[in-house]
């Protein structure tokens, strides 16, 4: 009996430890993916200001921002790996639908990577009109995912 | 008198508005630079685990992590631009010394960029011993800056 109690305690302890560890990992993933989107947003805003005419268009600065976004976009997906849906719900804006429709989510993330890579390329060589058009396509790729998978 | 009161109020309001706006910008910079370091740390940890033998060495995964760190390292400095020392002190681990000794700080950030770029290159072609050595140099570049400029 004493042995059984010990075994049960050990099993509970192991489950708890695993559970706590999974939570820690999921919370770290939440912080990570939030950070990736934060850096994307930081770079996106000055481009948006130029496109809207709220800031003077600076070709070099725009191209640098676009390159940064293209570099960051493929990094986000790793923060949504299986198990990361178990993190602290208060800390994330990710909807559970992400993990329920992972293939669709991955497709939308790929679309963002693709459009932002095009933007990075065109922002070096294109006209401002071409750049504005591709900026719109990139913003639409952000929005498509936000609409379905980000809590307001 | 009534006019004077209005003028003073307007001046106070203008100062307050400007102050609030600078605070918002500085707080955004705090969030941004924190995010850059978060993404660096996320990529650094799995490399550290491999170097310490806590995880199996995976050349491709290591090289990818090293490339990510090398990409991120030069992004951080922008988050310490003039004025960003005015942000919410509760939210930042940055010591005021950063802005007092900006040239030294910039030098240390450049050193990190340089060492992490070397790590990204060597992690693709080098032996594990060479990679471990350069990982140590990169970690030392992180630490040099943390020692002087990051609150514990």
Nearest-Cα distance to chain B for A2, in Å, is 35
CA B103 – CA B93 distance, rounded (Å): 19
Identify the band that residue A126 occupies on the pLDDT scale cut at 50, 70 and 90.
very high
A88 inside 8 A of chain B by CB: no
When the pLDDT of each residue in chain A is averaged and rounded to a whole number, the result is: 89
B38 inside 8 A of chain A by CB: yes
* Start-end of H helices in A52-92: 59-72
Bridge partner list, A26: none
Alpha carbon separation from B110 to A23, B5, B70, B103, B107 (Å, rounded): 36, 51, 11, 10, 5
pLDDT, one tens digit per residue, over B81-107 is: 999 999 899 999 999 999 999 999 999
Tell me whether residues A36 and B31 touch, CB distance under 8 A: no
- Single pTM value for the model: 0.86
- What CATH number is given to the structural domain containing B19? 1.20.120.10
pLDDT at B20: 64
A32 inside 8 A of chain B by CB: yes
Place of tokens 């003073």: B8
Listed in sequence order, the residues at least 6 apart from A46 whose beta carbon sits closer than 8 Å to its beta carbon are: A55, A61, A62, A65
Exposure string of A25-47, with b = 16+ CB inside 10 Å and e = fewer, is: ebbbbbbbbbbbbbbbbbbbebb
> B96 and B85 in contact (C-beta within 8 Å)?
yes
Provide the residue range defining the domain that includes B78.
Answer: 2-149
Nearest-Cα distance to chain A for B66, in Å, is 13
The DSSP code sequence of A16-27 is HHHHHHHHHHHH
B102 inside 8 A of chain A by CB: no
pLDDT, one tens digit per residue, over B106-118 is: 999 999 999 999 9
Identify the band that residue B15 occupies on the pLDDT scale cut at 50, 70 and 90.
very low
Number of domains in chain A: 1
């Amino acid at each position: 009996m004493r042995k059984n109690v010990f075994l049960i305690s050990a099993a509970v302890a192991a489950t708890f430890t695993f559970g706590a560890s999974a939570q820690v990992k999921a919370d770290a993933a939440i912080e990570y993916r939030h950070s990736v989107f934060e850096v994307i947003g930081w770079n996106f805003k000055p481009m948006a200001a130029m496109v809207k005419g709220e800031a003077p268009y600076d070709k070099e600065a725009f191209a640098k921002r676009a390159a940064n976004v293209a570099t960051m976009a493929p990094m986000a997906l790793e923060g949504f790996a299986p198990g990361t849906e178990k993190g602290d719900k208060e800390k994330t804006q990710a909807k559970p639908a992400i993990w329920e429709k992972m293939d669709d989510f991955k497709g939308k993330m790929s679309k963002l990577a693709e459009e932002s890579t095009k933007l990075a390329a065109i922002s070096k060589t294109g006209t401002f009109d071409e750049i504005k058009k591709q900026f719109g396509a990139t913003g639409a790729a952000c929005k498509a995912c936000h609409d379905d998978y980000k809590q307001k």
